Structure 1
Amino acid sequence: MISKSTIDQVYETARVEEVIGDFVSLKKSGSNFKGLSPFTDERTPSFMVSPVKQIWKDFSSGKGGNVVAFLMEHEHFTYPEAIKYLAKKYQIEIEETEQTDEQKEQANERESLYLVSEFAQKYYQDVLWKTEPGKAVGLSYFKERGFTEETIRQFGLGYGLDEWDAFTNHALEKGYQLDYLEKTGLTIVKDDSRDPGLKRKFDRFKGRVLFPIHSLSGRVLGFGGRILSNDKKAAKYLNSPESEIYYKSKVLYGIYYAKQAIAKEDNCYLVEGYTDVIQMYQRGIHNVVASSGTALTPDQIRIINRLTRNITVLFDGDAAGVRASLRGVDLILEQGMNVRICTFPEGDDPDSFAKNNSLEDVLDYLKENSKDFIQFKTSLLAEEAANDPIKKADTIREIVGSIAKIPDRIKREIYVQQCAAMMNISEEVLFNTLAQISRKENNDARKQERQEQKAFEVIRDQPREAKVDVQFELERKIIEILLLYGKEEQQFEDLVLKENEEGELVLEPENVDAKVYEKIYLDLQEDEIELTHDQFKIIYYKLMEYLNEKEDFQLSSFLNELDQELVNNISSILMEEEKYSLHNWERKDIYPKEKTKSIAQLVSETILTLRCYLIKKRIYSLQQDTEEESEDNKEVLEEIVNYLQLNKLLNNKLNRVLS
């Protein structure tokens, strides 16, 4: 187990904006940062990070918390994994206490799969560098590809011995379970045909050079293996099968190495193969990823979309391959992203071009030859159509079909104008075609929606008006005040109920100096008010204990002592008002007023409002009692009159008019 001193040091050192910035492209917004949600598919930012409070909130999914909560949500880390990741990032030495056998057994399956994958990566890397076959076959191959030793080590490249079960036997000797070796796909297990009771075990990546595939956070998810022999029956490239930790469609090769450069350059180069990524990275172009041995998917595009809105797709000189890959461009357009396309000279691909040219030459070529998607697609398809009017009509329809994928209307119109000029056709015809495609898509979508509604049709209750839970909101405000201002010393105006010379009840003010948390605690105690919401109640008592014991209140230290559910709740409370800054009101000439209330005024008004609300609830309850005839009705009515009088006094103090 990780020692408490290490955990405390991690929380003190880690910066939430730095850690999240590795996964999400963040832009300054006042004192905060904002970006696209990494948990939902969206085109306008709803994700907010507060460096001051060291918390984050995703308003589209409702998730939130501190830096550890983000890693647990986004990377599906366990709590210890998140702490270890942060310790590694900030170069903090981890102190661990010895785990019992029972604790070791409790490590979940997901973590076990990660551990097996990371063990395999280290094993294959050692084979490459420390064995004769590894150096003679694997290392020689990588060096022939033009990779330096530094690059080979940086990407963790390896080699699997050309033996049936070398890796599997070594892993079993080291105590790794066959079940996890099989689930990661590192080992293939089959029944023995001669003895059904026996299992035969084979290394999946026998005789292959290996490319580890990493998550955004750098954990090994799986492998891509290239065979080096001339065995025509074996696949040239072989990937790990999908597992609990590896989904091909949700992974981009090289994203771990590229993420910071993508955000910094505000552009991502998209290539096809592992060697394309490595060679370009080695040349000095770091913002490059590959689609990991699968056709480009919406999930992969969304990963890039969190870091940048701009993608440049790099194709080799094979025209047939380019034509087949254009579907991926339409998927990128659907996500509202900006797409440029660059093709290399015939016979070249990103790997060979980067290998044979200087960094300056590669960058110049990419800059000069990257075309906007509409220019590229129009010229490519127009060339294919030549002078055939039928093919030309089909080409135009296909281009307009791509334009229809773009969510932004202004961009669509500009592209239509471009297409009309390049294909020598009137804009009116193109706009009509675009409208037809859009109508068809809308009709199809409505039809699908109706079918779904019909499938899930339920008997509806009578319509109910959505009601605001006043007590919930007031209790939430009390927690917010305690979190933000609990230790602040303020002068409060206490209200003491007295009888004046005319015998009327009046509230007389008395000034008192106190800390905010003391004032709230005493006011709630005096009126015997308890918070009713379970989560608020837990947070309230933990806060009161912490504020009472600690000389200085540090939000990050307080959050460190809570479970993640409470941390999420607190981030929701503290970031609630921040969401309004996401709307860019100033661009619409709307300027929200700054808050001018003093802390003391805010505390007093919140407590007074809660008192008024509870008095109204009590009055309503008493009124219900008087509906049943009883001898005690007189006493109840007197109590109602007293409460009504008190309610009027409190509302007068709040400058509210009662009907």
Structure 2
Amino acid sequence: MIAQNTIDTVFETARVEEVIGDFVQLKRAGSNLKGLSPFVDEKSPSFMVSPVKQIWKDFSSGKGGNVVTFLMEHEHFSYPEAIRYLARKYNIEIEETEQSNEEKEEANEKESMYLVSEFAQQYFHNILTLSEEGKAIGYSYFKERGFTDETIKKFGLGYSPETWDAFTKEALGKGYRLEYLDKTGLTIVKDDKQFDRFKGRVMFPIQSMSGRVLGFGGRILTNDKKAAKYLNSPESDIYHKSKVLYGIFHAKQAIAKQDNCYLVEGYTDVIQFNQAGIENVVASSGTALTPDQIRLVNRLTKNITVLFDGDAAGLRASVRGVDLILEAGMNVKVCSFPDGEDPDSFAKKTPYDELVHYLDENAKDFIQFKASLLMREANNDPIKKAELIRDMVTSISKIPDRIKREVYIQECSRIMDISEQVLVDTLAQMVQKDVADAGKKLKQEQKEKVFEVVKNQEGIAASKVDVQYELERKLIEILLLYGNAVEEFEDVMLKTNEEGEMTEVSEMNNYKVYHRIYLSLQEDEVELANESFRAIYNHLINYYHQNETFEMEQYLMRLEPELAREVTNILMEEERESLHNWEVQQIIVKQKNQTISQYVSETILTLRWFLVDRIINDLKNSLNREVTADNSEILMMAVDYQKLINTFSKKLGRVMSRYS
């Protein structure tokens, strides 16, 4: 297990904006940073990071927390995995207590698969660089491709020996279980026999955005026509081909910095470009581009440049997948290489400056590129031309931005030498059909959920602000933001004057905010009604009593995950306060010109007023309606409580309408 002092060091060192910035493109928004949600598909940013508070909040999915919870939510790490990841990122030495055999057995299945994959990567790399077979076959192949030792190490390239079970024997001998060798696909298990999947292949580790080894691609080096040239790990709990882009771990920072991503097809294309000095490049690894892969890029940039091989057949095949990128609202450019060249070969022989210049000069807008390509294919055949025009308009119909669609229609009209109106009408028909299809789908969904919808609508119509909930939430927010601040508060006391009469006397005294709130609630014997708020309140008060200073990161570490999530929600919600007309609902929101002590006093008084008002309503409901009944005692109590409300109203400096 990881020692507590290591965990403390990680929390003290890690910066939430730096860690999240590796996964999400963030832009400055006042004192905060904003970006697109990494958890849902969206067009407008709803993901917020607070460098000051060291927390984040995703308003689309409702998720939120600190730097560790982000990794747990986004990368599906366990708590120890997240700590280890941060320790590696910030070069923090991990101190551990010895694990028992039972604790090792309890390690979750995914972690076991990750560990097996990481062992395999290191094993294949060592075979490549240290063994005679590896150096003679695998290392020689990579050298022929022009890869340097630095590049080989950076991408963790390796070689799997020609022996049937060399890797499997080594892994079993190191204590790795056959179950996980099988589940990761590294070992093929048949009856009572086991053999290596990647025997005799050079190995390309496939990593997640965070750098964990998910699977492998293996290339055969012999001329065996029965064997596939490239072989990938099978789908598993940690490897889903449609959700992974090769090279994303090494490219993510460059993509965000350059605000552009180059998309290629193969492993060696990525490696060669990276070695040439262009790091913002990823590959779909020979598979058709998927929405999940596009979303990975969309988190980092809105711009994709697709790099095509020079042959016409390859161009036509690759163009088909780009409609998905357009549909995601991204900007797409394409760049093709001279005949007979691919990104790998071209980058290998082209100096960096010339390569950058070529990409800049030859990257064309995708719509213009596709229109020109299709027109060349049509070759004046009117039937083929009509089909290709429809293909072109189909691509344009995928673009969500109406202005972009219109501009592209005008450009296609010019390139294809066809009436703009015809293209507009065709586009309108396609869009109308899409809308109709969506309407049918929605109608069917509504039919299936009709009773649920009616119930929800009734609930919405009858909904009402839960005032006590909001006030209690506001008290927790005050404790979190200002709990340790020392403020001047008014104390009102009863004293006997010279005439012997009891009069109210006020004096100003200094209190820590948390202490003032604690004394006020104790005085009124008020306990927060909401279970989560009550737990957080008690935890906060105890924390303030025991600690001189309040560090949000340290505090969140000590909270249970559910309560930590609630705290994050409260802290980040203030960024959206302007969306709510709280004053109309008599829920206090601190204004910029308002002192903390005033804010605290008003919130406490409003809560007192609400609770007393509820007592009055309960008294009203308990009145005996019989004509002969004696309700004098109840009425007297109601009058006394009403006097309290008048006092609160006077103190608040405004006439307060009653809740009903």
**Distance change (3 Å), C-alpha of 1:209 and 1:540:** same
- Residue 636 of structure 1 corresponds to 634
Tell me the SS of whatever aligns to 2:450: coil
For 1:587, the equivalent position in structure 2 comes to none
**1:368: which partner in 2?**
361
| Counterpart secondary structure, 1:531 | coil
Residues 59 and 145 (structure 1 numbering): CA distance in 2 closer, same or farther, change over 3 Å? same
Aligned residue runs from structure 1 range 43-58, under 5 A: 43-58=43-58
1:616 to 613, 616, 619: 613
The answer to whether the Cα contact below 8 Å between 2:590 and 2:599 also exists between their aligned partners in 1 is no
- Whether contact under 8 Å (1:183, 1:243) holds in the other structure is yes
Amino acid corresponding to residue 226 of structure 2 in structure 1:
K
Q: What is aligned with 1:6?
A: 6
Deviation at 1:52, TM superposition (A): 0.4
Aligned with residue 267 of structure 1, among 246, 256, 260: 260
Which stretch shifts more, 208-217 or 225-234? 225-234
Q: Give the aligned partner of residue 491 of structure 1.
A: 488
Deviation at 1:510, TM superposition (A): 3.5
Equivalent residues, number: 644
AA partner of residue 111 (structure 1): E
Q: Distance in 1 between matches of 2:651 and 2:320?
A: 67
**CA 1:154–1:581 in 2, change beyond 3 Å: closer, same or farther?**
farther
Q: Which amino acid aligns with 1:563?
A: E
> What pairs with 1:44-443 in structure 2 (closer than 5 Å)?
44-191=44-191, 199-443=192-436
CA distance in 1, matches of 2:575, 2:520: 29
Which structure 1 residue ranges, 5 or more long, are not aligned? 192-198, 584-591
Distance in 1 separating the partners of 2:63 and 2:122: 35
Q: Which amino acid aligns with 1:552?
A: T
Secondary structure of 2:541's match? helix
Q: Check 1:413–1:627 CA distance in 2 against 1; reply closer, same or farther (3 A cut).
A: farther
Counterparts in 2 of 1:174 and 1:593: CA distance versus 1, 3 Å: closer
1:583-612 Cα offsets, whole Å, 9 max, x none, are: 9xxxxxxxx996221100110111011111
- Matched to 1:419, the amino acid is C
Q: Secondary structure of 1:463's partner?
A: helix
Which residue of structure 2 lines up, in the alignment, with residue 577 of structure 1? 574
CA distances 1:361-383 after superposition (whole Å, capped 9, x unpaired): 11111111100011100100011
Would the aligned equivalents of 1:507 and 1:649 in 2 still touch at CA under 8 Å? no
Contact 1:46 1:582 in 2 (8 A): no
- Preserved contact between residue 280 and residue 286 of structure 1 (Cα < 8 Å): yes
1:658 maps to 657
- For 1:598, the aligned partner's letter is T
Cα shift readout 1:123-159 (whole Å, capped 9, x = no counterpart): 1111111111111111111111111111001100011
Provide Cα deviations, 1:297-334, integer angstroms capped at 9, x if missing partner.
00000010000000000000121121122222100001
CA distance in 2, matches of 1:39, 1:581: 25
How many Å apart are 1:653 and its aligned residue? Answer: 2.4
Tell me by how many angstroms 1:582 deviates. 11
User: C-alpha distance in 1, partners of 2:539/2:116?
Assistant: 40
- Kindly indicate whether the alpha-carbon contact (under 8 Å) linking 1:284 and 1:359 is maintained by their aligned counterparts in 2: yes
Distance 1:339 1:649 in 2: 66
* 1:196 aligned residue: none
Higher relative contact order (CA 8 A, sep 6+): 1
Question: Shift of residue 468 of structure 1?
Answer: 1.3
Q: Give, in whole Å, the separation in 1 of the partners of 2:239 and 2:428.
A: 41
Closer/same/farther in 2, CA of residues 355 and 651 from structure 1, 3 Å limit? same
Cα distance in structure 2, aligned partners of 1:208 and 1:581: 60
In structure 2, distance between residues paired with 1:174 and 1:649: 76
In 1: Cα distance, 2:218 partner to 2:302 partner: 31
Q: 1:426 to 1:580 in 2, by over 3 A?
A: farther
Other structure's SS at 1:233 match: coil
What residue identity is the alignment partner of 2:552? L
Q: Note the C-alpha offset of 1:424.
A: 2.0
Taking structure 1 as reference, are residues 593 and 4 closer, same or farther at Cα in structure 2, changes over 3 Å only?
closer
Given that residues 56 and 572 in structure 2 are in contact (C-alpha distance below 8 angstroms), is that contact kept between their aligned partners in structure 1?
Answer: yes
Q: What is the Cα deviation at residue 509 of structure 1?
A: 4.2
Unmatched segments (≥5 aa) in structure 2 = 581-588
Q: TM-score, normalised by structure 2?
A: 0.94
Work out the CA distance in 2 between the residues paired with 1:86 and 1:315.
37
The answer as to whether partners of 1:27 and 1:34 remain within 8 angstroms in 2 is: yes
Q: CA deviation at 1:505?
A: 11
Give the superposition deviation at 1:499.
11
The letter for the 2-side match of 1:456 is: K
Do residues 626 (structure 1) and 646 (structure 2) align? no
Matching residue of 1:530: 527
Match of 1:15 in 2: 15
Q: Secondary structure at the match of 2:97?
A: coil
> 2:430 & 2:495 partners in 1: Cα distance?
76
Give 1:426 shift: 2.6
1:73–1:119 CA distance, 2 compared to 1 (3 A): same
What secondary structure, in the 3-state scheme, does the structure 2 residue paired with 1:578 have?
A: helix
Instruction: Give the SS at the match of 1:308.
Output: coil
Structure 2: which amino acid aligns with 1:154? Answer: K
CA displacement at 1:429 relative to structure 2 = 2.0
Q: Distance in 1 between matches of 2:578 and 2:112?
A: 42
The Cα of 1:642 is off from its aligned counterpart by 1.1
Correspondence for 2:440 = 447
1:579 Cα offset (Å): 3.8
Specify whether residues 357 and 618 from structure 1 end up closer, same or farther in structure 2 by C-alpha distance, changes over 3 A only: same
Which residue does 1:463 correspond to in 2? 458
RMSD between superposed Cα atoms in Å: 2.3
Deviations 1:242-281 (A, max 9, x none): 1111111110000000000000000000000000000000
Provide closer, same or farther for how the CA distance between residues 413 and 382 of structure 1 changes in structure 2, counting only shifts above 3 A. Answer: same
CA shift for structure 1 position 628: 6.2
Are the equivalent residues in 2 in contact too, given 1:34–1:582 (CA < 8 A)?
A: no
Q: Return closer, same or farther for 1:121/1:635 CA change in 2, 3 Å cut-off.
A: same
Alpha-carbon distance change, 143 to 505 in structure 1, aligned in 2, over 3 angstroms: farther
- For residues 108-128 of structure 1, give each alpha carbon's deviation from its aligned partner in whole angstroms, at most 9, with x where no partner exists: 101101001001111111111
Distance 1:383 1:594, change over 3 A: farther
Contact 2:261 2:303 in 1 (8 A): yes
Taking only the aligned residue pairs, the percentage that are identical comes to 65
Distance 2:503 2:649 in 1: 12
Matches of 1:448 and 1:152 in 2, distance apart? Answer: 50
Query: CA, structure 1 residues 483+580, in 2 after alignment: closer, same or farther (shift >3 Å)?
Result: closer
Displacement of 1:442 in angstroms is 0.2
Deviations 1:369-428 (A, max 9, x none): 100011100100011112122222222221111111111111111111111122222322
Q: For residue 631 of structure 1, report the CA deviation from its aligned partner.
A: 6.4
- Distance in 1 between the 2:502 and 2:182 partners? 80
Inter-partner Cα distance in structure 1 for 2:448 and 2:562: 34
Whichever residue aligns with residue 116 of structure 1, its letter is V
- 92-101 or 563-572, which deviates more: 563-572
- SS of residue in 2 equivalent to 1:458: helix
Give the Å deviation of 1:652: 3.0
